[in-house]
Amino acid sequence: MADYQDTPAITKAKEEIITTDYSYAERDIILYNLGIGATETQLQWTFEGDDEFSALPTFGVIPQLSASSSLSLDWLPNFNPAKLLHGEQYLSIKAPIPTSGILVNSARVLEVLDKGNAAAVTTIVETREKNSGELIFENQSTVFIRGSGGFRGKRTGNDRGAASASNTPPERTPDAIIEEATHNIQAALYRLSGDFNPLHILPEFAAIAGFDKPILHGLCSMGIAGKHVLQAFGPFQDMKVRFTGVVYPGETLVTTMWKEESKVIFTTTAKERGVVVLASAGASLKTKATSAKL
C-alpha cells in the first residue's frame, strides 16, 4: 500500500506560519490564577509582592491563544466553525515562567486526520521570550470539526510522545483525590484571560450550541486540574488532557490521581452529574535535575 500523501490543500495549510506577540504584566498572572480558583489566602499566586509569587504552570496555554486561533481552517471540506470542538490540549513548560514581559508565538498546522464524519486538526505553537529568544512553552491543540471528514486522508496520527499518550488509569486505589467547587462566576472571570467565546457567557449562544446555560472553558478545567496535580505532587513539566465532557460553572470538579514513577495520570469529573470531563490525562513531574522555580 502506498504511503499516505497530504492533499495539496493540507500541504499548503502546513506551510502557513502565524506569529503573534503577547504582552503581559503581574496583573495578568493574578487574573489567570484567580480564574482557575486561586484564593486570597494563597499569596504566592494572588499577591505580586509575595516572595514566591508565580504563575500557575498552566498559564502556558494563555499566551498562545491568539496565534492558534488565527490559523485558518477554511481549506477543510464543508468547514463550519460552529461545528468545531476542542478535543485535546498538550502543554510543555520549557523554562521558568516570567511573571511579566513580551512573548512571541509561532503557530502552524502539525497534523490533519480524516475521521470519516469529522476532521481532526492538530496545531503546534512555540512561545518564546521576545528579547532572548528562549523557548518558554510549547502547545499542541487538537480540534475536531464535525462534517469536514471524508477527504480520504490519513486516519491515524503519529506518536507524539507525551502529547498523544493514552494515559490509562491503573486498576488500583488512587494516590490522591482533590475536590474543588467552581463558582457561578468562574467562566465570566476566566474569559478575561483571553478566551472571549460567547459560549461561556451568553445564555442564548449556549442554547444554540445545545447547552442549558453557558459552560466553563475546557482550558479552565485543565487549569484547575493542573493546580490539583501541583498541590498533590509538586511541579510538572508537561500536561496533556482530552476534553470529554462539559462543566457548568458552580459544579464541583474532582481530580483523581495515580502516580506512576515520574508521571501523574488523572481524570477529572463533574461531581454532581458524575460526568468525566478530562480523560487520557497525564502530567510529567519535574525531576531534581530539571527543577526550576515556576
Could you tell me where the DSSP H helices lie in 101-217? Answer: 186-190, 203-208
Verify whether residue 265 is a known catalytic residue: no
CA–CA gap between residue 22 and residue 92 (Å, rounded) = 18
218 has catalytic annotation: yes
Eight-state DSSP code of residue 5: -
Report CA torsion sign: 63, 290, 223, 46.
Answer: negative
Active site residue 217: no
Nearest to 241 by CA among 272, 217, 219, 215: 219
**Is 105:20 a contact under the CB 8 Å cutoff?**
yes
Active-site pick, 195, 223, 226, 282:
195
One of 29, 36, 62, 215 is an active-site residue; which one? 215
- CB atoms closer than 10 angstroms to residue 125: 25
Q: Which of 35, 37, 87, 218 is catalytic?
A: 218
The DSSP H or E segment spanning 177 is: strand 176-181
From the candidates 10, 200, 224, 228, give the one annotated as an active-site residue: 200
Q: Which residues are catalytic?
A: 195, 200, 215, 218
